[in-house]
Structure 1
Amino acid sequence: MPELPEVEVVRAGLAPHVLGRRVVSAAVHSERTARRFEPGAQAMASWLGGAVVTGVGRRGKYLWLELDGAPLPLLGQPAGDDGRSALVVHLGMSGQMLVRSAAGGAVAEAPVSKVPVPVGVSPRGTADCTVAEPVTAHRHLRAALDLGGGPEPGEVVRVEFVDQRTFGWWLPAPFVDVDGTSVPAPVAHIARDPMDPRFDVAAVVRVLKSKRSEVKRLLLDQTVVSGIGNIYADEALWRARVHGGRPANTLTRPALTRVVEAARAVMADALAQGGTSFDALYVNVNGQSGYFSRSLNAYGRAGEPCERCGTLIVRERFTNRSSYFCPKCQRTPRLR
């Protein structure tokens, strides 16, 4: 599943293509993509038509388009604190937001099938833009937006939501205020992530110190700190020289601080390299893979020597996943 760096790469890639543009056409082809939205896929597509994208936001692993001109009361949904609305996007295991020209030119290259998928035009009109002929669609296309109003007259850019495993979803939602920050309602329960300017390391350490759960389990708890998944948890713990099975309340505050700071640092390093890609399921908006997999020190390196001490990296089961660590640098907690 894409973690914070991968989702941030997508957010940053989308922004220059969509900000200030208006949705001239929308389609949601898969009911699974709209499964969290009771009115359904067709209602979502109609609601999106005519909306103007005024922002592209992210918290943790959640991404959203901030929209003007798409009032939720039209769908029988409650308005938010300030009347704005958002299209929340969760990439799931394999979701991709790809950008290309609606006229068929490649803003971003992507594998295609031979079967064209038409994009339905919203009944709210297209104003000054004309939608191009339907282009050949990606075989795992689940939803698409055509966006007009760019610097070139008549230019239309297409954003495609491609999702092979169909765990991803879209959801219209109002904005709400959480601790002085406006976020879409479905994201309200998510803690601030380490890239948030208002992220408070000391506050997170206090929460961790009060818990008896294993420190890795808490790093993966999106209500404690968001954006960290299995890859970056293992990498942060390796950098901090802490075993993920240690109960958080048995660690000192300086040790916990090292863990949190290491999580922020490793994700910043990953972001600089476009994220971590092991296969074609994670790509940026241009269809390109990230390169941080080449810089991993623990995750996925079982049987390889630790870059710090030379001891072989060990893999062990962790819930329904795996943990990777150095048995010398990250001492296994003693059993009581």
Structure 2
Amino acid sequence: MPELPEVETVRAGLAEHVLGRTVTRVEVRREYSVRRHLAGPADLAGRLTGRRLTAAVRRGKFCWLLLDFGDGTGGRMGDGAAGDPPDEALLAHLGMSGQLLVRTGADEAAAGAEHPHLRVRLHLDDEGALDFVDQRTFGHLGVPDLVPTPDGGPGGLGAPDPLLPEPVAHIARDVLDPALDRDAFVARLRARRTGLKRALLDQTLVSGIGNIYADEALWRARLHYARATDTLRRADVLHALDAAHEVMGEALAQGGTSFDALYVNVNGRSGYFDRSLAVYGQEGRPCPRCGTPVRRDEFMNRSSFTCPRCQPRPRSGRW
């Protein structure tokens, strides 16, 4: 499943390749891929057609493109004043296998170039297109209203205004967001009565950390996933937060983690941070730090990978 660095790679690609473009036509090839847009595919197409893509924003694993009418008018029917911020966005969640792929005019003209799992296509005014491709169909697109951010800060990375899509309003800021309040995060985590990894995976506490990067961050911080949050020192929590920031920054520099062809950036290229993983998926292999074989445990219907020596399990490991 794409995690924060993968989605940020996609956001950065959208910011580079599609901003300033206007949507000229929308094809919804599979209605299930727009199921969260309750007004239906025709309404989604109507809300997108004629709109200019003005900013690419991300919060956690959600990514969205702000929409206006090309004249600075943000109202959904063109009834806003010039210079008003947009009040709608094209919101994407990639799910397990979703991809947003930018096609140039040359790609459009190429025979047989269409992806077999194309679900939605936005035709753009430069004769190119933005395709939503999704093999497993867990991802979705929609055009929700924007609402004020709870803390008054920018909606997310790349946001020009303190607004975010209504379905994302409950999602916390992520470790790469400069507006993240570290002290507030520490206080909220230490007030929980749960395990450390469960807390890091809670998107209402801090967003964007998934199974892979949680394991990698905790290995770097030398903390076991079952450590009770209410027993952690402030320094321990900050160490885990810094480790998550570090590992995600390194993954972002390499284009994310890709185990197969289901995650690619907007140009169709896979990331390769999987070559740098220390413990995730490394059961039985030597820990890069001490040589102890990596251990795998069942965790929340998934797996957790740790070094038994570097990350000793707490005696009261309830989680």
Same fold (TM over 0.5): yes
My pick for the range that moved more, 156-165 or 40-49, is 40-49
User: Match of 2:11?
Assistant: 11
User: Match of 1:145?
Assistant: 122
Superposition deviation, residue 134 in structure 1: 9.3
Q: Distance in 2 between matches of 1:276 and 1:194?
A: 17
The secondary structure found in structure 1 opposite 2:31 is coil
Superposition deviation, residue 104 in structure 1: 3.0
**Structure 2 unaligned regions, length at least 5:** 79-83, 153-161
CA RMSD of aligned residues (A): 1.9
The secondary structure found in structure 1 opposite 2:225 is coil
Is 1:94 aligned to 2:97, yes or no? yes
User: Match of 1:128?
Assistant: none
Q: Deviations over 1:11-67 (max 9, x none)?
A: 101112111110011111111111111121122112211000111100000000100
Conserved 8 A contact 1:94-1:163 = yes
The correspondence for 2:267, drawn from 286, 299, 308, is 286
User: Match of 1:122?
Assistant: none
Q: Deviations over 1:156-182 (max 9, x none)?
A: 221110000000001111111111131
Aligned pairs for 1:106-255 within 5 A: 136-148=113-125, 155-178=126-149, 179-180=151-152, 181-255=162-236
Conserved 8 A contact 1:144-1:159 = yes
Distance change in 2, residues 1:14/1:140 (3 Å):
same
Aligned pairs for 1:60-99 within 5 A: 60-69=60-69, 71-72=75-76, 84-99=87-102
Q: TM-score, normalised by structure 1?
A: 0.85
Paired amino acid for 1:196: D
Superposition deviation, residue 103 in structure 1: 4.4
User: Match of 2:41?
Assistant: 41
Distance change in 2, residues 1:167/1:245 (3 Å):
same
Conserved 8 A contact 2:107-2:128 = no
**Structure 1 unaligned regions, length at least 5:** 75-80, 106-131, 149-154
Q: Deviations over 1:83-138 (max 9, x none)?
A: 52101000000000111124436xxxxxxxxxxxxxxxxxxxxxxxxxx7997521
Superposition deviation, residue 71 in structure 1: 4.7
List, as ranges, runs of 4+ consecutive aligned residues in structure 1 with deviation greater than 6 Å: 132-135
Q: TM-score, normalised by structure 2?
A: 0.89
Superposition deviation, residue 72 in structure 1: 4.4
The secondary structure found in structure 1 opposite 2:130 is strand
Conserved 8 A contact 1:72-1:173 = no
Conserved 8 A contact 2:59-2:207 = yes
Q: Distance in 1 between matches of 2:223 and 2:68?
A: 46
The secondary structure found in structure 2 opposite 1:104 is helix
Paired amino acid for 1:140: H
Superposition deviation, residue 245 in structure 1: 0.9
Conserved 8 A contact 1:17-1:157 = no
Superposition deviation, residue 231 in structure 1: 0.4
User: Match of 1:31?
Assistant: 31
User: Match of 1:56?
Assistant: 56
Q: Distance in 1 between matches of 2:43 and 2:207?
A: 31
The secondary structure found in structure 2 opposite 1:245 is coil
Q: Deviations over 1:288-319 (max 9, x none)?
A: 11111011111111100001111000000001
Q: Distance in 1 between matches of 2:110 and 2:23?
A: 16
Q: Distance in 2 between matches of 1:22 and 1:63?
A: 18
Conserved 8 A contact 1:98-1:160 = yes
Conserved 8 A contact 2:66-2:86 = no
Q: Distance in 2 between matches of 1:83 and 1:147?
A: 19
The secondary structure found in structure 1 opposite 2:66 is strand
Paired amino acid for 1:255: D
Superposition deviation, residue 186 in structure 1: 1.0
Conserved 8 A contact 2:221-2:240 = yes
Conserved 8 A contact 2:4-2:61 = yes
